[in-house]
Amino acid sequence: MDHYRNRHDGLSHNILTMCDHNMRFTYVSVGWEGSVHDSRILRDILLDPNCAFPMPPAGKYYAVKALFNRRHASLRNIIKRAFDVLKKQFSILKRLMQNYLMATQNNIILVYYVLHNFIRDHVPNDAYFVEKETVAVLTDNLD
């Protein structure tokens, strides 16, 4: 379990995710220990020949932590809102799941991402999504 301890000495998972402009998660990789650095996760995924990591189209780039700046604020806000909705929908993701085996925890996490996308696609007036979209509109109008 020590590998799952993060820099704050808490138990955690590292999860690499991607989301689109509609707050849908388009790629999820779970199972990374909390002590693993983000750059190692990305490197290992990119080097894995069996990985289905979607590469950006020619001339386009992914906004990753080191590249965020003022021009990427809207992308960062979409990702933050998507995670906010996910955590509100499934509050178990905000607390320890220590009574489950790691493989079970990984499966639980994946199921919640799938359910999040299902809700996004099939429940157009979901309260959590509507709340975050309203905040986004208000915030964009202030800029």
The DSSP result for 59-100, as a single string, is T-----GGG--GGGHHHHHHHHHHHHHHHHH-GGGGS--TTS
Domain enclosing residue 49, as ranges: 2-142
Report the share of the chain in percent with pLDDT over 90.
Answer: 24
| The model's pTM | 0.74
Three-state secondary structure call for residue 22 = coil
User: Structurally, how many domains does the chain consist of?
Assistant: 1
* HSE-up (13 A, CA, CB side) for residue 142: 7
d(CA 138, CA 5): 38
pLDDT tens-digit readout, 26-85: 999 888 887 788 888 888 998 998 888 888 888 877 766 655 555 556 666 788 889 899
